C-alpha cells in the first residue's frame, strides 16, 4: 500500500507579499502557541474512516506561511504528535518552508536535530529592487547566507523558488537571476510564472497603474531560458514547475501528482484519501483554533469525487510529470483507453506538437508544457 504524506499548515508570516493569496497572517505569539496545541490535538485525534488505525507515511511537509517562525520546541511537539499517530518510515522526508534572512545556524541545527531534513524557501529573485516591489522582506544576500547557514547546519537537501514575469522584470535581469541560482547549486529548484490574483495588493497596484502589468510573452521566454540553462548544467526537469539534481525530486509533492493520500492539518489544510474523498479545514487561523478547542475538528468542506472526476485528475495530474502518463496502467485502473476515447483531440494535440507518445507513455512536449491547460481541459 502506498505510503501517505502529511501536510502541516503554519499560517504565520512576518510580512505579507503583495502577490500572496494564501491563508496567512501576521505572527502573534499567543495565537501561535494555541494554534500549535490545536494542530497537535487534530493530529492525535485523526482517524481515517471509522477505525483509528496507524497509517503508514513517509513525508511530512511544513508549509505556510513561514513555518520556521515556530520555535524548535513547537516543531518538536508537532513531530511528536505525528509520530504518535502515524507509522513514519525511518527515511521520511521532512520538509520545512523558511524565509531567507530570518534564521541562524543554531536554530537551523536544532530543526535538523529534530528530524527536519529538507529546507524550502522563496528566493523569488536576486534583484533587490524587484524584491522590494513585491513586498519581500529579504535581500539577495540573505538568500546566499541562508544557503550557507543551511549547509553549516547539516542540510543536504535544499530547494528554493524563483518567479518569472515580475512587474518590470527584463530578460537580462532574469538571466542574471539564473546565474545566481544555478551558481548556488541547490538540490531542487521550483519556478513559477507570476499569477496576479484578484484580491491581492499586487492586483490593486496594477489596476491603479502603480505597477506595470506583467508581460506574459516575456514570461514564456523566461521559462524557456530557465529550462535550457538548468538542464544544460545537469538538472532534471521532472514536473512542469520543478527541476532537481538527480535523486532529489520532492517526494512529498510527487504524492499530489500521483494521487497518493495526503492528510493535512492546520487551518486551510486540504486532505485526500487517495481514492474518492477530499476535505478541507477552516481557513482562518483563529477560528480554526477555536473549532479544534471546542469540537476537536475543523473540517468545513467534504467533496466526494465520482469515477469520472477521479479519472480526469489522474490524467491531468499525471501529465504534469515530464515522464508522462502510462496509458496501459490507466487502462488497467479505470478500464478506459484514452487513445480511443479522445482519439481526435489527441491527434490534434500531437499534430500541433503539444504531446508525444513513446509506446505506452503519453507526455507533454516543451511547447505542450506552456499550453498545458489547453491539453488538460479536454479531460475535465
Residue 283, domain member (yes or no):
no
DSSP string, 130-176: HHHHTT----HHHHHHHHHHHHHTT---EEEEEEES-TT--HHHHHH
* pLDDT value at residue 119: 98
Structural domain span for residue 346: 307-377
Residue pair 8/265 in contact (Cβ under 8 Å)? The answer is yes
Same domain, 143 and 208: yes
Residue 301, domain member (yes or no):
no
Same domain, 13 and 91: yes
**Omega of the bond leading into 65 within 30 degrees of 0 (cis):** yes
Same domain, 207 and 67: yes
Name the average pLDDT for the chain.
90
The domain tally of the chain equals 2
φ, ψ at 150 (rounded to 5°): -60, -40
For residue 19 the three cell numbers come to 502577490
Same domain, 199 and 317: no
**Residue 32's domain is classified under what CATH number?**
3.20.20.70
Residue 236, domain member (yes or no):
yes
Residue-wise pLDDT tens digits, 68-123: 999 999 999 999 999 999 999 999 999 999 989 888 899 999 999 999 999 999 89
φ, ψ at 260 (rounded to 5°): -75, 160
For residue 74 the three cell numbers come to 513547537
∠ CA 19-25-29, nearest 5°, is 150
**Residue 361's domain is classified under what CATH number?**
1.10.10.920
* Percentage above 70 pLDDT, the chain: 89
Report which secondary-structure segment, H or E, holds 280: strand 277-281
Residue-wise pLDDT tens digits, 146-160: 999 999 999 999 999
Is the C-alpha dihedral spanning 226, 232, 234, 239 positive or negative?
A: positive
Looking at per-residue confidence, does 359 or 118 come out higher? 118
Distance between CA atoms of residues 159 and 106, nearest Å:
20
State which of 234, 257, 280 marks the end of a domain.
Answer: 257
| pLDDT, mean of residues 300-310 | 96
Candidate ranges 130-139, 195-204, 328-337; pick with highest mean pLDDT: 328-337
Query: Which residues are 55's β-sheet partners?
Result: 86
DSSP SS3 for 98? strand
Residue 320, domain member (yes or no):
yes
* pLDDT value at residue 102: 81
Distance between CA atoms of residues 142 and 139, nearest Å:
5
| pLDDT, mean of residues 124-150 | 89
| pLDDT, mean of residues 167-185 | 92
Residue 330, domain member (yes or no):
yes
Residue-wise pLDDT tens digits, 281-295: 999 999 999 999 999
State which of 257, 287, 316 marks the end of a domain.
Answer: 257
Same domain, 239 and 329: no
φ, ψ at 287 (rounded to 5°): -65, -40
DSSP SS3 for 270? strand
Same domain, 21 and 148: yes
Same domain, 217 and 322: no
Distance between CA atoms of residues 209 and 215, nearest Å:
15
State which of 221, 242, 257 marks the end of a domain.
Answer: 257
Whether pLDDT at 339 is above 70: yes
Residue 243, domain member (yes or no):
yes
Same domain, 141 and 65: yes
* pLDDT value at residue 20: 43
pLDDT band (50, 70, 90) for residue 165: confident
Residue 78, domain member (yes or no):
yes
Same domain, 66 and 154: yes
Give the helix, strand, coil percentages of the chain, each rounded to 5: 45, 25, 35
In this prediction the pTM is: 0.90
| pLDDT, mean of residues 174-184 | 95
Residue 281, domain member (yes or no):
no
Same domain, 97 and 225: yes
Residue-wise pLDDT tens digits, 19-56: 444 445 556 778 899 999 999 999 999 986 655 678 99
Whether pLDDT at 353 is above 90: yes
Distance between CA atoms of residues 76 and 68, nearest Å:
12
Same domain, 230 and 343: no
* pLDDT value at residue 350: 96
Same domain, 237 and 347: no
Amino acid at each position: 500500500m502506498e505510503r501517505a504524506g502529511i501536510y502541516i499548515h503554519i499560517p504565520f508570516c512576518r510580512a505579507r507579499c503583495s502577490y500572496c493569496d494564501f491563508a496567512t497572517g501576521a505572527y502573534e505569539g499567543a495565537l501561535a502557541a494555541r494554534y500549535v496545541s490545536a494542530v497537535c490535538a487534530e493530529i492525535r485525534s485523526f482517524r481515517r474512516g471509522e477505525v483509528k488505525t496507524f497509517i503508514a507515511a513517509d513525508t511530512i511537509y511544513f508549509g505556510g506561511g513561514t513555518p520556521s517562525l515556530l520555535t524548535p520546541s513547537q516543531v518538536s511537539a508537532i513531530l511528536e504528535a505525528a509520530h504518535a499517530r502515524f507509522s513514519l518510515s525511518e527515511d521520511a522526508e521532512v520538509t520545512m518552508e523558511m524565509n531567507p534572512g530570518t534564521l541562524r545556524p543554531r536554530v537551523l541545527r536544532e530543526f535538523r536535530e529534530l528530524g527536519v531534513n529538507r529546507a524550502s524557501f522563496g528566493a523569488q529573485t536576486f534583484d533587490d529592487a524587484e524584491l522590494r516591489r513585491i513586498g519581500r522582506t529579504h535581500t539577495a544576500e540573505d538568500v546566499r547566507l541562508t544557503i550557507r547557514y543551511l549547509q553549516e547546519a547539516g542540510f543536504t537537501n535544499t530547494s528554493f523558488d524563483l518567479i518569472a514575469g515580475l512587474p518590470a522584470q527584463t530578460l537580462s535581469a532574469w538571466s542574471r537571476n539564473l546565474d545566481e541560482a544555478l551558481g548556488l547549486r541547490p538540490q531542487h529548484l521550483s519556478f513559477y510564472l507570476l499569477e496576479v490574483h484578484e484580491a491581492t495588493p499586487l492586483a490593486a497596484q496594477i489596476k491603479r497603474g502603480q505597477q506595470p502589468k506583467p508581460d506574459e510573452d516575456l514570461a514564456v521566454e523566461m521559462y524557456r531560458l530557465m529550462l535550457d540553462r538548468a538542464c544544460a548544467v545537469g538538472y532534471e526537469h521532472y514536473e512542469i514547475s520543478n527541476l532537481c539534481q538527480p535523486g532529489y525530486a520532492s517526494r512529498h509533492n510527487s504524492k499530489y501528482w500521483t494521487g497518493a493520500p495526503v492528510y493535512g492539518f492546520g487551518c486551510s489544510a486540504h486532505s485526500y484519501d487517495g481514492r474518492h474523498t477530499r476535505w478541507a479545514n477552516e481557513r482562518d487561523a483563529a477560528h480554526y483554533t477555536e473549532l479544534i478547542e471546542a469540537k476537536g475538528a475543523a473540517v468545513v468542506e467534504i467533496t466526494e469525487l465520482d469515477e469520472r472526476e477521479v479519472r480526469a485528475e489522474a490524467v491531468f495530474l499525471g501529465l504534469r510529470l515530464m515522464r508522462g502518463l502510462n496509458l496501459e496502467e490507466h487502462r488497467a485502473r479505470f478500464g478506459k483507453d484514452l487513445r480511443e476515447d479522445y482519439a481526435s483531440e489527441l491527434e490534434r494535440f500531437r499534430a500541433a506538437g503539444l504531446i508525444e507518445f513513446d509506446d505506452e507513455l503519453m507526455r507533454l512536449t516543451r511547447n505542450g508544457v506552456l499550453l498545458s491547460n489547453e491539453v488538460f481541459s479536454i479531460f475535465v
